[in-house]
Amino acid sequence: MAIERTLSIIKPDAVRRNLTGAIVARFESGGLRVAAQKRMRLSLAQAQAFYAVHAARPFFSSLCTFMSSGPVVVQVLEGENAVLRNREIMGATDPAKAAPGTIRKDFAESIEANSVHGSDAADTAAKEISFFFSELEIVG
């Protein structure tokens, strides 16, 4: 299996509750390594640009307001089959449907404040990584 990279965001609800380390530990014990990481505060415009694919969805405005409501930690995670592996570690988008032992089951507050974002496919991952990081900032 090839080594892949995926984009991860630890969302404002989790950063606010000081869960960054606990969430990174889930990624690391799940076989992924942090190849890049930074803490930042997204502007509303940056959140809208990042989630542009969801612009027509009814939750778009609320989602972008939430994502710019406080600091986030953005990361490049690397490892075997990283896109799928990260999605397994995160669990389903809706924490009510997430499997036991997943980040969203254990930490998420709601379907919006669901603690983490992860790329949904390899091509999306490449676009999302380049939204936040230059190649020079990623050390696998």
Catalytic residues: 117
| Backbone phi and psi for residue 18, each to the nearest 5 degrees, phi listed first | 60, 40
| Interacting residues of 1 by C-beta distance below 8 A, sequence separation 6+ | 80, 81
Q: CB of 136: closest distance to ligand CMP in angstroms?
A: 26
Min CB(72)–ligand CMP separation in Å: 11
Q: Does 46 bind ligand CMP (CB under 6 A)?
A: no
Confirm or reject binding of residue 59 to ligand CMP (CB under 6 A). Answer: yes
In three state form, how does the secondary structure of 24-66 look?
A: HHHHHHCCCEEEEEEEECCCHHHHHHHCHHHCCCCCHHHHHHH
Q: In angstroms, give the least distance from the CB of 95 to ligand CMP.
A: 10
- List the one residue from 71, 106, 112, 124 that touches ligand CMP (CB under 6 A): 112
Q: Which of 6, 48, 86, 114 binds ligand CMP (CB under 6 A)?
A: 114
The residue (of 65 and 130) whose beta carbon lies closer to ligand CMP is 65
Residue 81's identity, in one-letter code, is N
Distance CA 13, CA 107 (A): 9
Q: For residues 12, 121, 135 and 16, what is the CA-based torsion angle, rounded to 10 degrees?
A: 10
Contact status: 92 vs ligand CMP (CB under 6 A): no
Q: Which residues bind ligand CMP (CB under 6 A)?
A: 54, 59, 63, 93, 111-112, 114, 117
